[in-house]
């Protein structure tokens, strides 16, 4: 019998409670490095990374209700105080709520590749979303991506190349929860590695002088 999942009241966020913009001090009660994971899935990355970096603040954005509820329950049970979760559409939320020069890192691990040609316009990595992420990044802030989908990865690199005046590629270092042979240690990565799929990664850093 499946365990009943709880909604710990301090973990979830609602857009209507944000009063226009994401205020880190009001939400976390402190300043500090700020990370956003787009598509938090079952919360494995958030749990491990937040435990390894207790001085950092983490926001997970997840649209799928079952994954959102699962992760809220997981973060609450582990009593991780530096993580918040919001169930919303990531592109519009970042565009409307995340302030300029406020994010230290965007983490995008195994996003939906929307493999059908007619669905590719739904992919998260696109010019408009990248422009918003760059706006939100602090100087030297990072975008880190991992995927098992080679064609989507090639498209991502093409999108990133259009912003090479604003971003520079850096080494992709494994996350806190990654085990030997892994990059990020998420449930999806472990599933795909068992299926002997290749994993593609890229990390980029915001250059120091950018005018919007």
The answer, yes or no, to whether residue 123 has pLDDT greater than 90, is yes
Residue 142 in this model has a pLDDT that exceeds 70? yes
Looking at 73, 104, 112, 148, which residue is catalytic? Answer: 112
Q: At residue 82, does pLDDT exceed 90? A: yes
Domain extent for 101:
12-206
Q: Per the domain annotation, does 1 fall within a domain?
A: no
Q: Is residue 2 part of a domain?
A: no
Band (1; pLDDT cuts 50, 70, 90):
very low
- pLDDT given at position 3: 56
- 28, part of any domain: yes
Local confidence band at 17 (pLDDT 50, 70, 90 cut-offs)? confident
Report yes or no: 201 and 192 within 8 Å, Cβ to Cβ. Answer: no
Give the CATH number of the domain where residue 96 resides: 3.40.50.150
Structural domain contains residue 5: no
First to last CA, the chain: 53
List C-alpha distances in Å: 199 to 9, 25, 191, 192, 207.
36, 36, 11, 8, 26
What is the number of structural domains in the chain? 1
112 is catalytic: yes
Mean pLDDT, residues 152-161: 97
């Amino acid at each position: 019998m499946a365990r009943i999942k709880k909604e710990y009241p301090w973990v979830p966020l609602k857009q209507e409670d944000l009063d226009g913009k994401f205020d880190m001090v009001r939400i976390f009660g402190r300043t500090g490095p700020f990370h956003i994971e787009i598509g938090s899935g079952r919360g494995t990355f958030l749990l491990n990374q937040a435990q390894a970096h207790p001085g950092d603040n983490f926001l997970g954005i997840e649209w799928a209700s079952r994954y959102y509820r699962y992760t809220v329950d997981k973060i609450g049970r582990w009593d991780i105080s530096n993580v918040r979760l919001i169930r919303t559409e990531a592109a519009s939320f970042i565009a409307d709520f995340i302030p300029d020069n406020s994010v230290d890192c965007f983490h995008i691990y195994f996003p939906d590749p929307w493999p059908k040609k007619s669905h590719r316009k739904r992919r998260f990595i696109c010019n408009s979303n990248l422009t918003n992420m760059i706006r939100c990044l602090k100087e030297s802030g990072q975008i880190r991506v991992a995927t098992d989908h080679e064609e989507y990865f090639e498209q991502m690199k093409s999108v990133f190349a259009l912003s090479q005046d604003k971003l520079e590629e850096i080494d992709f270092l494994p996350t806190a929860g990654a085990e030997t042979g892994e990059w990020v240690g998420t449930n999806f990565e472990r599933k795909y590695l068992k299926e002997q799929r290749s994993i593609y990664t890229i990390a980029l850093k915001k250059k120091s002088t950018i005018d919007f």
